[in-house]
Chain A
Amino acid sequence: MIDLDKVRADFPILARRVRGKPLVYLDNAATSQKPRQVIAALVDFYQNHNANIHRGVHTLSDEATALVEEARRKVAAFIRAPKPETIVFTRNATESINLVARSWAAANVRAGEEIVLTELEHHSNLVPWQQLSAERGVVLKFVPILADGTLDLSALPALLGRKTKLVSFTAASNALGTLVPVEAIIRAARAVGARVLVDASQWAPHRQLDARAWDADFIVFSAHKMLGPTGIGVLYGREELLAEMPPFLGGGDMISRVTLRGFAPNVLPHKFEAGTPNIAGAAAFAAALDYLGAVGLSRIVEHERELTRRAVKALSAEPGVTVYGPDDLARRGGVVSFNVEGLHPHDVGTALDLEGVAVRAGHHCCQPLMARLGVGGTVRASFYLYNSSEEVDLLLAALRKAISFFRPAAA
């Protein structure tokens, strides 16, 4: 069990009021809140260690470098990656995917060859491949979803073949909460010799991620969804692939030697980290991973499952409310997407905000998925370790209030 009072006391923002009401923060799939330990790490860097990395021979520069490399080791340990050199720091998961598209895919996927995605994907795992497709004639294919928002894996064999170069998919849907059978898809991709990218943005904050067990070629996620700061994300890559890949961005730090006419790239992972990175962000990300480690992901998952069960049960029982995504809670993360008949998600979202309840309303950067579900958008509540069952009840109370207010308009 999570010691909820203790955890909540670590998150200063949970004490604030929104529009006169206590904040009920249920937009964790968009970004998580930050514990004081993470905020303190940011402040500590700027107050006590601020310097650029890998350049100065002075003490502060050494300290800054050590903080970044310590963060890299912690990320590697957190996802059970074979070594820290396989961890590349980016700005966010989106940049990580773009790096793979621009570097690995541009060098390895030719016109007429295929990349398989799914209908669940966030725009960040669609648009980079669409760009590649438009520029190079790469063919995109999509694993369809079933009515409950799970992937139709029976369609997978027909989509995979000798032309498949990459299968890129989300491990957990940000919009519906669907948990994807990651290992089964990776096995199927492997069987046809395709490479695999897993978008773990909605997985890594909640569930143990085992890079070696998954055996994926690339794994991406963002720090800010897992208690860390914005502006730092991760690309894990299989070492031999990263070693062969051309650099993505050019500049300082990614080189070993530069002349006026040319350069030699640096070793891994620095080859992919051009320019001054988010040093304070790395230090704070490490603090976030320490925090998650101390609470324990298995406790977090269990806690979220209880909140999700409560929310799905209550929302499903509410007249006129449609809940999207899998009924089977074993196949759903801490995300509950729903709509109220006759009401627009934004009106519901604003009404909830007036009660202090922060949810996401809209397409969740998943317009193709929304189109597939036949809705313009949904209202989405997403949970994290600091949310309480009382907050689920407050969501319901605020929703009932909104429904009774708008009902005449809905009729």
Chain B
Amino acid sequence: MEGDSELRELYREALLDYSRDQARRGRLEPADMRARGLNPVCGDEIELTMRSGPDGRIAQIRFTGHGCVISQASSAMMAEALEGQTPERAASLLEAFKGMMLRGAPAALLPQELEAVGALEGVRRFPTRVKCATLAWNTLQQGLARRSGGAQADFEEVE
């Protein structure tokens, strides 16, 4: 469509596709980790549940909640990218993502596992929307940190 190149630059096709993707929506019962995140700017909430496999790797991640295209796509991308990762690798991928969103690291330098996530790069030009993109990632990061510290993993992360 004419004149919406700016819109397309932000809301890339991959982003729209992921935001519609239902594959990792839902809630795992029981779960090894449960974490809730809240973006107070818009009131959007997310609940993440995770199960680990016998080898300690992340086996499944599911998310529920309502939110904008960016937060929903970001949640779906994150869940897809981190399944199968060791907790250590997941931690470094979470940092790499935040490096791109918050510290301007180029998408081209993202680790291979985060290739699809590069589609969120355009969000950086919209500072008020960056939190939409980071909500799921921060929520998972806090959930994993609590869990490794042996603490109750059911909590509310306020960005």
Contact = CB atoms under 8 A, between A and B. Distances in A.
Interface in A330-377: 344-347, 350-351, 353-354, 361-363, 367, 370, 376-377
25 contacts: A19-B6, A346-B68, A346-B70, A347-B68, A347-B69, A347-B70, A350-B126, A351-B7, A354-B7, A362-B41, A363-B43, A367-B43, A370-B43, A376-B42, A376-B44, A377-B42, A377-B43, A401-B4, A402-B7, A405-B1, A405-B7, A405-B8, A406-B11, A408-B16, A409-B20
Contacts of A346: 42, 68, 70, 129, 132
A354 B9 CA distance: 11
A404 B1 contact: yes
A361 B42 CA distance: 8
Given A367-B43, A370-B43, A409-B20, 8 more contacts: A344-B67, A344-B68, A346-B42, A346-B132, A347-B68, A350-B126, A362-B41, A362-B42
Interface string A156-186: 0000000000000000000000000000000
A404 B7 CA distance: 11
Interface string B123-155: 000100100100000000000000000000000
Contacts of B41: 362
B54 interface: no
Interface in A393-411: 401-402, 404-406, 408-409
| In the complex, the 8 A-B pairs of residues with the closest C-beta atoms, listed nearest first | A344-B68, A346-B68, A354-B6, A362-B42, A363-B43, A347-B68, A347-B69, A409-B16
Contacts of A347: 11, 68-70
Contacts of B1: 401, 404-405
Interface of A: 19, 344-347, 350-351, 353-354, 361-363, 367, 370, 376-377, 401-402, 404-406, 408-409
A268 B11 CA distance: 56
Contacts of B81: none
Contact of A405 (B4, B42, B68, B129): B4
Contacts of B6: 19, 354
A376 B10 CA distance: 23
Contacts, number: 57
* B: contact size bracket: 20 to 34
B30 interface: no
A376 B43 CA distance: 7
Contact of B19 (A354, A401, A402, A409): A409
Contact of A362 (B8, B16, B43): B43
B94 to A, nearest CB: 23
A362 B68 CA distance: 11
Contacts of A408: 16
Contacts of B89: none
A345 to B, nearest CB: 7
A8 to B, nearest CB: 25
B58 to A, nearest CB: 28
A27 to B, nearest CB: 13
A354 B129 CA distance: 13
A376 B68 CA distance: 11
Nearest to B129: A350
Contacts of A345: 42, 68
Contacts of A370: 43
B104 interface: no
Contacts of A350: 10, 126, 129
Interface in B1-59: 1, 3-4, 6-8, 10-11, 16, 19-20, 41-44
B3 A401 contact: yes
Nearest to B72: A344
A405 B1 CA distance: 8
Most buried by B among A19, A346, A361, A408: A346
A405 B2 CA distance: 11
A231 to B, nearest CB: 22
Most buried by B among A347, A363, A370: A347
